[in-house]
Amino acid sequence: MLERENRTTLLPVLLGAALALPAGPALAQFYKDKTLTVLVNYGVGGNADTEARVYQQHLAGYIPGHPTIIIRNMPGAGGVNAMNQLGLTIGGSQADGLTVGYFTMSATVLITDDPVLKIKMDDLVPIAAARGWNVTYGRKDIVPGGYSKPADFARAQNIFAGGYSRASSQDTRLRLALEVMKLPYKMVTGFPSTAQLNKAMEQNEVNFTSSSLPGFQTQVIPQIIDTGVGVGLFQFPTIGPDGNPAGNPSLEKLGMPIFNEFYKQAFGQPPSGAKSDALLLVNDIATKMQRGMFVPKGSPPEAVAALQQGFAAVAKDPDFITDYKKITGEAPDLISADDVERIFTRIRDVDPGVKQVIKDSIGSD
């Protein structure tokens, strides 16, 4: 999926041409009196949708030409439908610079070359990406007598984990975490957004799932935790500078340990083995590139340059940061197109053994 050949020739040409353009009248003219569609790959009320609507309120002022910005939601296939549509430039998503994808990225789909993704990543030109944390939560009655501490989770026997699609990072991380803990579970998948997952949890159709911070802050806490239905469990860690699992300090202060510490408290020792290694890798990539902003290959260089400039600038706007913090609890953490390419390189170089573990997880019941 992520071959080097085209990417090493096409992408630098596109980006080099874009960055060589003047940042004044030429860019302003491109988007003047035009409408920019932000294509979101999950449903209304989901995490990506919630974030995209904050960008919608602030982004136009930082894109030369100040286009009108609208949101178009296209859920399905764990977020892949919209990526296919943008990359294939079919339907309303043409390579004209007037559609930019705001996608929840699936590390699993990219690592395993999943056939559900009909495009190559070379078909998309990166504008930026954003880091973001993912946390798990469950119903209090997930264990007999009720959950109160990590050690209780080891007694869970009837786990129904809610997800988006088998190949999504959401489902893969939940499966691997439960398999590392050697707990019996059943995946209940196909939900279009966090809102539907929470409704299912309220109705006791699922009792374990996860969310990125927008949905956790705005929906999970008021609907699931504050009402006494459920409780926060653990956060998925990244790989720290020392090579060890690392978490978000602000979440740890709220009593949300990283998975490895949660496991140790529940089972008396740290997790280990191939599935644990695969889980940490998926967590690391999914956290460091949780959202991705892309336009189709062949988009005008003026559009690429203007959008890169706009996203980089809005992320520094105090008003945008304030609004973003209200829904996530943290400031936006954007990375550049070059950073995205470095993550793609990591994905290309994933150890075949680790890749097979992830493939086996997708294919298992």
How confident is the model over 12-49, as pLDDT tens digits?
Answer: 444 444 444 455 566 668 999 999 999 999 999 888 99
How confident is the model over 203-254, as pLDDT tens digits?
Answer: 999 999 999 999 899 899 999 999 999 999 999 999 999 999 999 999 999 8
Residue that the structure tokens 């982004």 belong to: 59
Mean pLDDT of all residues in 49-59: 96
Residue that the structure tokens 């949101």 belong to: 71
pLDDT band at 7 (very low <50, low <70, confident <90, very high): very low
| Average pLDDT value for the chain | 90
pLDDT reported for residue 14? 42
pTM for the model: 0.85
pLDDT reported for residue 330? 85
Cα-based distances in Å from 17 to 214, 219, 294, 335: 35, 43, 17, 20
Q: Are 340 and 129 in contact (CB under 8 A)?
A: yes
Catalogue all structural domains in the chain, each as residue range(s) with its CATH number.
4-131+289-363 (3.40.190.150), 134-285 (3.40.190.10)
How confident is the model over 60-116, as pLDDT tens digits?
Answer: 999 999 999 999 999 988 899 999 999 886 444 468 999 999 999 999 999 998 899
pLDDT reported for residue 27? 64
CB neighbour list of residue 356: distance below 8 Å, 6 or more residues apart: none
